[in-house]
Each structure stands twice: as C-alpha cells, then as structure tokens.
A and B are shown apart, each in its own frame.
Chain A
Amino acid sequence: MTLLIQQTVTGLAVGCIYALVALGFVLLYKATGAINFAHGELMVLGAFAIYVGMVSLKLPGWVAIPLAVLALAGVGLVVERLVARPLIHSGIFTVVMATLGVAVIIRGVLAAFLVAQGAGDALPFPKIFPDQAVRVGDITVAPVYLWTIAIAVVLILAFSLFFKYTAWGVAMRATAQDRVVARLMGTRVGQVYALSWALSAMLAAVAGLLLAPVTFLSIDMGTIGLKAIPAAILGGFGSIPGAILGGVIIGLAEGYAGIYLPEGFRNVFAYVVLLVVLMIRPTGLFGLPERKRV
C-alpha cells in the first residue's frame, strides 16, 4: 500500500512534467497549426541553459532560471521566424520534417557542448530543490516531486486565466479558430504566431527545469519529452485540459506499470496507450472529431 501511494505521488509528478510539455506542444498546435517535433529538444535546451547559467557562469538560481527561460523564448522566436513562418502554407509533413531538422541541429550543438565539458553522455544537474525527503507517516517523497506538482498546477492555472481573460489570450484563441477571420478582425496574426512559439518554448524550458533534477542532464531527456505526444493524443489533440489530464494519466499509468507489469512495459506503456487510443478513439478524451473536406 505504501508503495502504491508513493508510486502515485511519483507518477503524478512525472505526469505533471508530461502535462507541462504537452501543454506547450498543444498550445503551439492550437494557435499555429504547427506540430513541433523539436519540442523535446527545446526542453533539453532549456535545462542546458540553466546549467550554463548556474555552473558555467556561476549565477544564483533565481537569476539563472528566469534568464534561461527568456533565452528559450528567444530561441522559440528565431525558430518561428526562420523555419515555421516560411512554411506556413505547407502541409503537415513538411512542418514535421522541418522541426525534426531543428531537433537535429539542437542535438548536435548540445553534443558539442557535452564534449567541450568533457563529461561523456550526461552531466549532474545543479541542486535547485532541497534534498531533504518529506515524510508523511510511512511515505517518503522527494521534494522535487512536490515542487513539480506545485509549479505545474500554478502554471496550468495561469495559462487557463491567460487564455480566458487577456487580450493576447483571446487573440490566440481567435487565431486558432480561423486564421483568416482573425486577421480580418484586426488580430495581428504574425505576432500571435511569434508569441505562441515563445510561450511554448518557455514552457518547454520550465519542464526541462523540473525533469533534469530527476534524470541526469543529457540529450536523451528529449525522448522523455516526446512522451508528451501520447499524453496530448490521449487528452484529445488540440484540447488544453485534455493535454494536462492526458499527461497525468500517462505518468500514473507508467508508474503503476513499473510495479505490476513485467520488465520492459514501463518504457513503452505510453506508446501502448497511444496505439489503443488511436485505434479506438482517435479524438481522445476531449478532442472534437475532425471532418474530412474535399
């Protein structure tokens, strides 16, 4: 029972990270229609940026982390301007391949960085969260997980409010619904696209900040970031509450699969879920069915 509860907390925390990654991913898809396969790499880049700030430049955490998040916003803007916007009228295949190209470039740069640090495949991440485990009765929880859950909940709430009440949030929703009409209504669609990329990259950086203390700082973290895609599909692609719920469900399911199912299932459980959802209900939990048009 203790194990179960502990695994639930861990699963919830991991699920929150997935949810944050999925939130950035879906946000971008909703506003611009682009599917960003470099999202996992942006997350890794964010974690590396924090590492550079705290270890190489020896800045305190409260300076380095916001700086890294801002830097990622800049990266998002550059990618939008140079890669995404010129391909705005191309099909989904082209956009996916182009963002894969971005992913390859980021991975190459980070590999060179690792070599320059002389660190092999992974670097230890600087301590951000306290080490002291929190005990409640029999259950011990690492504070990282509690922080993760707290930050994720705050960010998700903030984003819901942002979409609902701010002018930019409304503009993003309008663009998501219909680009042309939004432009006719005076929305600056180009700026909305830029903002979406920046926000999405910033969310990726925060997810990297939360994930890196749990794993090591390595390029393979991006693979974990890709699990946000099953989460987004499970929730219904294009639905933000769905992405969050999907992330949490996948995180929990993986945790339980680690205990109750034979070895190997844990790694692929998210993908099994993805397959089942795609076969049975491609619209996911909250997605709207898409109509095919000639």
Chain B
Amino acid sequence: MLNAVSDHTPRDREVPAGKPAVTLDEHIVEVVSDSGEGAQKCGQSFGSIAAKMGNGIWTVEIIPAEIQPPARSIAGASGSRVRFASHPVTNVGDYADLVVAFNEQVLLGRVEANELKPGCIIVLESKWRTDPHPGIAASYAQTHAKLVDRGYRVYEVPMEQECLKYVADPRRGKNMFALGLLCSIYSLDLQMGRDQVAFAFAKKDASVIGANVRLLEAGHQWAEENLDIKFRIPASKPREPQIVVNGNIALGLGVLASGMEICAMYPITPATAASHYLSDVFEDAGGLVHQAEDEIAACCFAIGASYAGKCAVTITSGPGYSLKQEAIGLAVMAEIPLVVVDVQRGGPSTGQPTKAEQGDLLSACFGSHGDAPKVVMAAATIEDCFYSMITARRIAELFNMVVVVLSDANLATAQQPFPRPRFDEAWPAAPTDQSRVPRGMKPYDWDARTGLARRFIPGQPGGMYCLTGLAHDRESHVAYDPRSNEEGIRHRSLKLAALQKTLKTPPVYGDEEGDLLVVGWGSTKGAIEEAVARVRAEGKKVSSMHMKFLQPMPSGVKEALRRFKKVMTVENSWCDRLDDDVIDDDNRRFSNLAWLMRARYLVDIDCWSEVMGQPTKPGTIAQIIREKLQ
C-alpha cells in the first residue's frame, strides 16, 4: 500500500532544515531490539505522537516469550510495529517499509519471518561492526552485506556512540535516540516528541525525563544532519476527542466504566496487563483487583461476589479459561451473573503465550460439562474492548448468565485511536432490586416464555434459599425427579433464545449480495475489511460480515449468507487444508466459526485460516479472496 508521491513538499515549520520531505499515504515502521532495550517504548511513543498529530495508526508489540531471551538472537526480537497513515487504519497492514534495529540478529528474525517489504529501509545500530568479539563483528558485516545485496536500503547509525555523549549507559537510552531519528525521518513535531517522553516516563523523576529528552533531541539532530531520507504523512486533526490505548487498557477502562466492582484474576499472559492497569486505578473509584491463589479461585471469588451483589469479572487467557470451566458451569447452573474475559493466545496447552490466535471460540461456547448455555461475544476493535465490558455486565445481570468476552493477543497490545467515550450514568447502575422478596416468590420462578427469574441476593429479607450446583426445582430444592432436571435445562436454554431476539443483524460490509461473503470474528475485522475493499476495487463482487455475538447468533444471518454464491470464514483458528493428502470432505476439521455456522445455517461454508501467531495481513486475505473467486 505504499503510494509514495515523489513530489517535494515545500518546507514549513515542521520540516526544519535542509531536506525536502517525500509525501506518503502510509508507512509501516518497526523498531526491534533485544528484550529490555526499550524498542517497545520507542515504537509505542512513535505511534502516540503520530496519533496525536492526527494520523491514523495501528501499533502492535513484537514480544518474545521469555523475559530475558539471549541477547542478539533471532527469536529474541522485541519491539513494536506501527502502521501509520493519512487515513484511519484498522489493522497492522502487510509488510514493513522501514525498520530500526538495535542489532543485526533481531533484524534477521524479522527478515526471516518475511515481514519486510522488498527494498525496505533499514536503520541499523552500527557498533557491532567494531565489536571486540570477532565472531560478532563478522556476523554483523556478513548480515549487512547480505541485506544490501538483497536490495534493502541500509543506513548504519552509531546509536550508542552518539548516546554516550549524553548518558553513561547508552543501552538504556538509545530507544529515545531512535525515537528522535524517527521524528526526523517522518517530520513529526519535535515538541510533541518531548511531551510524549515526559508522559512515557511520568513515574520517573525529572532528571530521567530530562536525560531522555536530550537523547530524543540528539537523535533528531543526528538524522537531520546525516540521513538523506525524509518523509511526511499528512495528518488531519480529529474533530472529536480521541483516545489512544491498547486493547488491554481499553478492557480495564471498560471494567471501570461498567460499574463492576470486583475483578478477580491470576497472572497469565497476555491478559494480565488489563489487571495491571486496573490495579493502578480501580481502587480510586472503589473497585478491587483481587489476585487469587489460582485461576479457579479467581473465578470462584468473582462468583461469590456476583452472587451477593453486582456482577463481577474474571480476566484470563486460554489455559486459565480451561481451568475455570467447572466454576463457570456452576454459575450457569445456579444462574449467577458473571463476566469472563479470555484474551486468547496460541494453544493448546501452554502454546504460544505471547502470540495471537483465535482458538478458544468453541471452548467458550461449549466448555464446561453438560448443557451449559452461556453468552459469547468477541471484541473486534480496541473500542469494542471498552464497550464490551459494559454490554457484558448488562447482559449478565439482565439474564443471570455467564457472558464470555473474547479478545486476543493482537488486540491486547495493539493501539488504535477511537472516539472518547462519553460517560453514561446508566453504566454503573446498581444491581437488581434488593427489597424484601414477596411471600411465595421462588428463587427460580422461570418465566415460561423467556426462562428469566428474579435473582435473590443474600441479605434480602424473605428470599432465603439454598443455591446449589445440583439439579434443582423452582425452589432451589435438589431435584431428584427427572422432570425438574429437564425443566431447569429447558429454561436456562430459553434465556439464550430470549437474548437472541434482542440482537441486531450484523451489517454487511460491501454489497448485500454477490459472489463471495467473507465472515470473520474478533480481531481480524480490520484486515478482512481492508482486503475486501482492495478486491472490490478490482471490480470483484465480494463482501464481508463480522460477528460480534457468537452465541447466540443474531437473526438475519442466514438470509445474508444466502445472498452470496459462496461463503467462507477467515480465522486464526486451525482448519485442515484440502491439499493435504489425507484430508477430504469426510474428515476435514473446520475453523471454529465455520463449524458453528455450518451447523446452524446448513450452508456449505468454507474456511481459510493461518495460525502463525501474528495478525493475518490484509494482503494475504486479499489473495485468498481472489483465489476463492476464480
């Protein structure tokens, strides 16, 4: 998507000295380093400055699984990717246009992962060329030559050497020097850079901020004087206030705004950052983050709190979600409202803790033994992460149900601006009626049509009953007769149908009919829609639809599917490939959503998936669409 316009923009106050800037529509920039060298902070700060200038941005983190992976290793690449543009962006995009690398090995990691565009600009720390260790110096020289040979435009920058002029330990400051380089290369407002440094180090004292600002300025000046590359990506300031946060912080803000008072959790990647953020701010508003002794305890703590008051939330990732299953079943059986957030990662088992995957949809829908109907919804954007918490609590309390909200490692660390939420007093409303329970009212007085019953809360006079995970009748007495068991199962199932009647049909992106409909869920939304837009621009009749509610699915979906000749899902959960010898129609396993939709709609829905641990590129999806249309 590089639409470089090679006109030379006239100088103005934002392009300080000397060089004219090339105006671009968008660029994808990566900053990679060994773990602990601060490339993530550099990339995020760069993204924030661009966003504040009014560029569309999407940032994702490049995270190694270990805290201190070996230095200078291909697998140890840590950093950040920023896609920024003159227009809003909804996903991480395709291939990098420019990479800043602190050593050649982490850079090789990105090259081998095929993340760089041909001819990509590389800004490389040059100190390794003269490293006292001959092996390192040789490796650097070799890699450098190879990259130049492959046509990459490599700029060697003596980052640490320059930083040494300002700080004693350049390894701890060169990320801000690199930020300065980027500010110059992309003609960003240096004052906004200084403000951003102050924000990024807000918890440190003034001398730390001062030192980092000096490094920022030094990087900027060095690039101005030594680099012949300068770009400008036009920005337009938003008309409405926007907020820039990642998905995990959006989740935390959403919990706060939803009025839920208790978040019980156990540390797990990549969900924990949401709880870190909440731990910082929740108590100021009267909320509590409880770090339980394990995932099961976290879920049960939330259930205990929900049972006695407002709905509570437990936030976890795949393995923790598996551990909670029995407790979730209890909440379903006893009809205790509960919000469970699963920030998905690669699985099964420990899988890929820091990587993105969408493998938990079916376990979210069907996990827990027996018939355990629960609501499952998926956030598709950073903004969704915020609002899904408010929606989830409301549904959980209205229907006395478990609501599972799926996010993933992609959303968790990605940042994208969205309109600043306007607080609504209805969000943190008190839970259900706590007045005396009228005589004769039963704790499970299921409504024949909707399955709903009023929830009794401990402390409420006249409502005393013994909640149980055993099959029970309307009075919550243990049901020894088969009819009561069936009556309970039937009414708990009806609630899902009652909710379904209130859901809106998801809109179709593109025309309402055509040759191909691509269906997705979760964090792939932006990439799918961008791919659809590209292929539509080629004149093809393709549209897409994105499912926010996965269980129940809204009305109208079947009709939408039937208006297309072909339907396929694009997911990051595994599906067998028909070009494998042993795979055929009788044994093929489909991706999660394809399973669900084939079963419900009796439509021959195909699917395509990749489980590479990273967000699927719009270019990849566009290619899949073209092939499917042939």
Q: Are A and B bound to each other?
A: no
Binding site for B on A (CB under 8 A): none
Binding site for A on B (CB under 8 A): none
